[in-house]
Amino acid sequence: MTQEEDIKNAVEVLRRGGVILYPTDTVWGIGCDATNADAVARVYQIKHRDDSKALICLVDSDARLQRYVRNVPAVAWDLIDAVVKPTTVILDGAVNLAPNLIAEDGSIALRITKEPFSHELCYRFQKALVSTSANISGQPAAQNFSDIAPELLDAVDYVCFSRRQEHKPHTPSSIIKLGPQGEVTIIRK
């Protein structure tokens, strides 16, 4: 299967409200349409995760990120432009997303992915994509496809074929929270 066919299949599943497993710019992820509350609820259920713990979303561009945050502070753009490692930014004023995806304080965690597969997937899907590590809550994140627990493979609607053979170290993204006055809090290095 070509990467293009893989992405086409994944997008069809996402548009139907399904849940996928896919490679990202960091670890393997469990994903769904970030605007579909039922799909988001399924991701929490699959991970056995408390829905009070927020999930990260991937987007393909600055323009797409702006669709999901009321006002992106200038410091966020400076940070996004400066970082080398994949970095997730938590921003206030989340909009146009499933309510059960938005944190209690109204914030959302977003990352612009530049990795070819996840970037193209987000571009073709044309919406924010939930990206939470492919593991049961509390277990280690799946760095490679071979690390994914069989119960997760059985629980989702589609498992991407791209990058399944890869065996190299991957780490979760850095997470930085930006406050309304530009305050910076490092959540995960």
Strands 174-178 and 87-91: parallel
Average pLDDT over the chain reads 94
Per the rule left: phi > 0, alpha: psi between -120 and 50, beta: everything else, 158 is: beta
CATH number of the domain encompassing residue 105? 3.90.870.10
pTM as predicted: 0.94
CA 105 to chain centre: 19
How many Cβ atoms are within 10 Å of 102's Cβ, its own excluded? 19
Q: How many domains does the chain have?
A: 1
pLDDT at 50 over 90: no
Can you tell me which residue has the tokens 């589609």? 158
Q: Which domain holds residue 143?
A: 3-188
Q: Where are the alpha helices (DSSP H) in the chain?
A: 3-15, 37-47, 62-66, 74-82, 116-125, 150-155
The pLDDT confidence band at residue 51, using thresholds 50, 70 and 90, is confident
HSE (side-chain half, CA atoms, 13 Å) at 187: 17
Confidence of residue 37 (pLDDT cuts 50, 70, 90): very high
Residues 43, 46, 49, 50: is their CA dihedral positive or negative? positive
